[in-house]
Amino acid sequence: MALPKLNQPLFEIEIPSTGKKARYRPFTVKEEKILLIAQESKELDQIILSVKQVISNCLQDVDVDLLSVFDLEYIILNIRAKSVNNEIDFGFQDEDTEERVDVKIDVNEVKVYFDPDHSKKIDIDSQYYMMMRYPSLEEVRQMQSVNDEESTNTEQMFNTMLSCIDTLVDQETDEVYKLSEFTSEEVADFVDGFNSTIVESIQKFYITMPKLRHVIEYKDKKGKAKTFVVEGMDSFFT
């Protein structure tokens, strides 16, 4: 007689980048081991890959490869809250007094921060504008990898950034061009016509991208009220 498979409860979550609803289950002992091994490695790459694997197992009817990094960060925190508990022990050093500050973070209070200056729309001229898409986990890893190397890889970094141009819109005819449907040579020729203002707007898109963010309010040993900002998955999992 085979042992029964345990049923897991399902919960609903809103995907931050799209606003669409999805269902997920808590992670199991097997998946918790994956996260613990990655956490012990202290390697961000390993943590990210493990988080992606756990989300793939727990999230229903969603292509994890299409999710943005901040989606993944938000989802894994919520899965953890339902699987373990909603509190995370967190410590940091006060930059003025150099004292160690230990707090508990309520995962339910951690949200994705949307910069009011952020926009996926990049104006080209009075006729055309582009719509960006958020980079996938692999694309972010590529950009971080290139950024850590010599400046000779600037062109590779730039190409990776440009790969997230989703569509070109003609405001006069309402025609929409999907850049993925064009050859790399055609896209390169189009991009070569960008001026510095367009490039700066693309850079701003990346700099102001939504991110997992939580503000901790505390008092230092002198009783002075202060705040400490926690951002990004590596802050919560390392």
Number of domains in the chain: 2
- Asked whether 199 and 156 are in contact (CB, 8 A), the reply is no
Q: Is residue 15 part of a domain?
A: yes
Range of the domain at 100: 11-113+211-237
Closest by alpha carbon to 232, among 95, 118, 77?
77
pLDDT value at 55 more than 90: yes
* Residue 4, domain member (yes or no): no
**What's the confidence (pLDDT) of residue 221?**
85
* Mean pLDDT, range 162-191, rounded to an integer: 92
Digit-coded pLDDT (tens) for 93-146: 998 888 999 999 998 899 999 999 999 999 999 999 999 999 887 777 666 665
Looking at the fold, whether 15 and 107 belong to one and the same domain comes out as yes
pTM: 0.81
Q: Which has more pLDDT, 126 or 156?
A: 126
Q: Is 2 among the domain residues?
A: no
DSSP 158-221: HHHHHTTEEEEEETTTTEEEEGGGS-HHHHHHHHTT--HHHHHHHHHHHHT--EEEEEEEEE-T
The answer as to whether 3 is a domain residue is: no
Is residue 61 included in any domain, yes or no?
yes
Average predicted confidence (pLDDT) for the chain:
86
> Are residue 217 and residue 155 in the same domain, yes or no?
no
Q: Are residues 32 and 90 in the same domain?
A: yes
Q: Are residues 224 and 199 in the same domain?
A: no
For 71-88, what is each residue's pLDDT tens digit? 998 999 899 899 988 888
The two three-digit tokens of residue 225, written as one number? 């009220």
Whether residue 38 is found in the same domain as residue 89: yes
Task: Say yes or no: 147 and 82 in one domain.
Answer: no
Q: Do 189 and 97 lie in a common domain?
A: no
Q: Is 6 among the domain residues? A: no
Does residue 216 sit in the same domain as residue 147? no
20 shares its domain with 107? yes
Exposed (0-12), middle (13-18) or buried (19+): which is 69, by Cβ within 10 Å?
A: buried
CB of 46 within 8 A of CB of 39? no
Any domain includes 17: yes
* Residues 31 and 49 reside in one and the same domain: yes
**pLDDT value at position 1?**
66
- 85 lies in the same domain as 106: yes
pLDDT in tens, 221-238: 888 999 999 887 666 654
Task: Say yes or no to pLDDT of 153 above 60.
Answer: no
- Do 109 and 63 reside in the same domain of the chain? yes
Band of pLDDT at residue 151, cut at 50, 70 and 90: very low
pLDDT band at 41 (very low <50, low <70, confident <90, very high): confident
* 130 close to 177: Cβ distance less than 8 angstroms: no
Q: Domain for residue 100, yes or no?
A: yes
